[in-house]
Amino acid sequence: MPHLARLSKARRSPITKTKSITANLRRSLHRGIRPGRGRLGDSLFAAAAFLAAAGIIALMALMVYKLMQQAMPAVEAFGAGFVTSTEWDPVNNNFGALPFIYGTVISSLLALLMAVPLSLGIAIYLSQFAPSWLRSPLGLVVELLAAIPSVVYGLWGIFVLAPFLGKTVEPFISGHLGGIPVFRGPVYGVGLFAASVVLAIMIIPTISAISRETMRNVSRDQKEAAQALGATPWETVKMAVLPLARPGIIGAVILGLGRALGETMAVTMLIGNSPKISASIFAPAYSIASVIASEFAEVTEGRHMAALIEMALILLVITLALNLLARLLVQKTGSRATKAKARP
Amino acid sequence: MSEYVQTPEEEGGNTMMPAPPALPGAVPAAGAHGGHQPERGPDTGGGLYRQSNLRRRSRNIRSRLAHALCALSTVIAMVPLALILFYVIYQGAGALNFSFLTSLPKPVGESGGGMGNAIAGSLILIGIAAVIGVPFGVLAGTHLAEYRSPRLSWIVRLLSDTLSGVPSIIVGVFVYTLLVLTFKQFSAIAGGVALGILMLPTVARTTEDMMRMVPDTLREASLALGIPRWRTITSVVIKTAGGGIMTGVMLALARIAGETAPLLFTALSSRTWPMGLDKPVASLPVQIYTYAISPFDAWHKQAWAGSLVLVLMVLLLSIGSKLYFGRKMQRAR
């Protein structure tokens, strides 16, 4: 019993000299004042924990610094024209990021267009309508979508989804809505549209899980008030749940967008990998993450690599900004919901 | 909740009596998790503020329609999951056999061959990642939960949440510039470091959450016995929160086991057995990617088989951890 043996020595510690042991212990809990022996161990352990926590900050700072440092040659060579130029010519050492930015943004927005209504439906169903015994198994199944590795989505996309889209869905849309330029043109299966569909599937769990959580946190008296006024279940959701959960839902959508922008493997395997901007959403395109994935390992020339790293930096800055914004929104909903709960 | 009309007459006695639903297949109460809701009796008519039957019916229909649409979207989301699992099992099981799990890949044109080296490589990479990510993450989580310093804590919390949203390929580029460029060598270590960084936020945040659930009385009891604070944390708090922390670690491992993008230019790939931690190493996800985009049918089959192995690995880890944690939580209550 080493603990008991230590007890007698602990009596000589400064803690016994003060008035109230309990008060001291409580204070030590909150301030980290160390009672008695083990001071060295305590300082070492506290220092290690502090270093680990500070290490996360250092890691992020180092990440931004390293990418900036490596991107410098491209920044110096192309300046602001980098993001507006459509040229991607490794042979002549000319690089512009616009086609990749276009492909990334359009595929992610299309994915959002498909994923947001479905995810909100799922979130509402799982938090409000579904019978309670069904909620957690259904929630688990939807979360399994997030567990499937992205390369498996890509594999399935290449061999199952893209041929299916290319043979049935895309000709159908093209045939009926071909008058609109975005649906015009040849269909290949593989292309911007196929990438968006897979992206949509991949971000559904993110958006639905977070918005479900914020909807569940909406205080019950709000819902009961609506019900007492005679609202139908749907009216209750519309009047009491959605308005209170709105910041959290927006946060969830932004997090989903962040995930879609940075998703690499499935997009690389499905988007067609062609650095062109075409009007049709069925045409092949390219995204920032996928050009890094497919060209980075084979790069031999300095400016080419710097151009790829500068694009990585652009993507990093965008996703950082989106994530910060989303976290703040989700936190805001959380605190508002608890405040509503705490009110008598 | 099958009728939504309030009439002055009803206000009195009927409210607490659960009435049978007026329509078959009526919508369940919105607050189903909240236990019993008082249900309204069938409309007895004649009230001063009575709504017209037509309007009431249209509101009910709209509500039921919304309910159906929400249920439908849940079903739609399950279709791709079912399809993916079906194809991975159907296509993968055909190509999967014992020699696939144990042998080296063969050159194009020769039959047979497997992903033994990739599976071994994946295990090595996950091992390195765990060695880096778990202690780092648990310590950072400990700082957040036990040494609450308000100024540092919120920024660490925010940054680790943000780090979990950083695209994995960018972590790959970062580790490339940090390690591969410095040592001029693609290596298993670099791949493991990239994966370790990716598991950091999950481990840190679950550790924090789990340690916060440990009641203060346990800490006070331990400190009252004269046990130093660091021993209190390691043998009382971490031990109590251990199951939850384990769950977080398993979830993080499940996440990184399937990561491909950060390995493409850190661990690279190889067609031999792992030669050492400072050498490029094959991994299951990268091998699947290489085979999937190749033009050869035999390789496509191998990619499906590899996917089956990978999906089984990931699902076992993540479902296992969730079930384990679910049981823990129930026992805690």
CB within 8 Å: A309 and B177: yes
Record the tokens describing residue A295, joined without a space: 């060209």
Q: What is the pTM of this model?
A: 0.83
- Name the band, by pLDDT with cuts 50, 70 and 90, for residue A7: very low
pLDDT at A27: 58
> Which residues from chain A sit within 8 angstroms of residue B91, using beta carbons?
159
pLDDT digits (tens, 9 = 90+) for B49-86: 556 788 888 889 999 999 999 999 999 999 999 999 99
CB pairs under 8 A between A and B: 343
CB within 8 Å: B167 and A159: no
CB within 8 Å: B63 and A312: no
Q: List C-alpha distances in Å: A89 to A85, B230, B252.
A: 11, 58, 39
> Is the per-residue pLDDT at A114 higher than 90?
yes
- What CATH architecture does domain A75-342 belong to? Orthogonal Bundle (1.10)
Interface of B with A in 58-77 (CB under 8 A): 59-60, 62-63, 65-67, 69-74, 76-77
- What CATH architecture does domain B102-332 belong to? Orthogonal Bundle (1.10)
Q: What is the mean pLDDT of residues A151-166?
A: 94
Interface of B with A in 17-56 (CB under 8 A): 27-34, 37
> Is the per-residue pLDDT at A234 higher than 60?
yes
Q: Does A164 touch chain B (CB under 8 A)?
A: no
**Spans in chain B with pLDDT lower than 70:** 1-51, 326-333
> Is the per-residue pLDDT at A275 higher than 80?
yes
Q: Round to whole Å and give the CA distance between B307 and B297.
A: 15
Among B308, B93, B329, CA closest to B209: B329
Q: Which residues pair with A94 in a beta bridge?
A: A89
CB within 8 Å: B177 and A255: no
pLDDT at A279: 83
The full set of domain ranges for chain B reads 102-332
Q: Does B93 touch chain A (CB under 8 A)?
A: no
Residue with tokens 């949440």: B161
> Which residues from chain B sit within 8 angstroms of residue A66, using beta carbons?
174, 177-178
Which residue has better confidence, A222 or B45? Answer: A222
| Proportion of chain A in helix, strand, coil states, percent, rounded to 5 | 80, 0, 20
A interface mutation test: which of B56, B161, B162 has the most A CBs within 10 A? B162
Which residue has better confidence, A180 or B251? Answer: B251
Cβ-in-10-Å burial (0-12, 13-18, 19+) of A298 comes to: exposed
Q: What is the mean pLDDT of residues A226-249?
A: 91
Q: Does A94 touch chain B (CB under 8 A)?
A: no
Q: Which residue in chain A is spatially nearest to B230 when comparing CA positions?
A: A42
CB within 8 Å: A141 and B78: yes
> Is the per-residue pLDDT at A252 higher than 70?
yes
| Proportion of chain B in helix, strand, coil states, percent, rounded to 5 | 70, 0, 30
Cβ-in-10-Å burial (0-12, 13-18, 19+) of A190 comes to: buried
> Which residues from chain B sit within 8 angstroms of residue A263, using beta carbons?
167
> Which residues from chain B sit within 8 angstroms of residue A142, using beta carbons?
74, 77-78
- Name the band, by pLDDT with cuts 50, 70 and 90, for residue A342: very low
Strands A88-89 and A94-95: antiparallel
pLDDT at B38: 46
Interface of B with A in 103-132 (CB under 8 A): none
Query: B173-186: buried (b, 16+ CB within 10 Å) or exposed (e) per residue?
Result: bbbbbbbbeeeeeb
pLDDT digits (tens, 9 = 90+) for A11-57: 444 444 444 556 655 655 555 554 445 578 888 999 999 999 999 99
